[in-house]
């Protein structure tokens, strides 16, 4: 869920709703903290940033953010008539 919102802070309230819907378990807040901690352990320090009452992924480490940027540059290159540049950027967007 954080990756899909790359570049934006996602509040605890929003994450609870996205993860559990309109009827979350009463332990949802604690479970969310556990999930965030596990994510940080798995991905390393500096990937999940705390901002106020929410979290955001570090922009440069999110595949979705890299994909969006490369695809945008590809569209821009195609619009400018730079076919080879567009192909290179679209390939970059699709690279693992």
Q: State pTM to two decimals.
A: 0.60
In tens, the pLDDT along 20-57 reads 999 999 999 999 999 999 988 988 878 888 999 899 88
pLDDT reported for residue 13: 94
The count of residues in the chain is 96
Q: Which residues of 42-76 are buried (b: 16+ CB within 10 A; e: fewer)?
A: eeeeeebeeeeebbbbeeeebeebbeebbeebbee
Domain extents in the chain: 3-56, 63-94
Phi and psi at 51, nearest 5°, equal -135, 110
Tell me the two tokens of residue 58.
Answer: 């570090």
Tokens of 37: 């901690």
In this predicted structure, the answer to whether residue 75 has a pLDDT above a threshold of 90 is: yes
State the Cα–Cα distance between residues 5 and 38, nearest whole angstrom.
Answer: 19
> What percent of the chain has pLDDT above 90?
50
Q: Which pLDDT score, from 0 to 100, does residue 69 have?
A: 82
Q: Which pLDDT score, from 0 to 100, does residue 6 have?
A: 65
Task: Please state, in angstroms and rounded to a whole number, the distance separating the CA atoms of residues 13 and 66.
Answer: 27
Could you give the residue ranges of the DSSP H alpha helices within 21-82?
Answer: 28-43, 63-79
């Amino acid at each position: 869920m954080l990756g899909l919102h790359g570049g934006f802070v996602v509040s605890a309230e929003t994450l609870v709703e996205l993860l559990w819907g309109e009827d979350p378990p009463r332990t949802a807040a604690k479970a969310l903290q556990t999930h965030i901690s596990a994510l940080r352990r798995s991905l390393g320090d500096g990937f999940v940033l705390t901002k106020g009452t929410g979290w955001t992924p570090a922009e440069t480490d999110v595949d979705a953010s890299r994909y969006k940027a490369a695809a945008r540059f590809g569209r821009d290159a195609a619009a400018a008539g730079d076919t080879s540049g567009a192909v290179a950027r679209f390939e970059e967007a699709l690279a693992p």
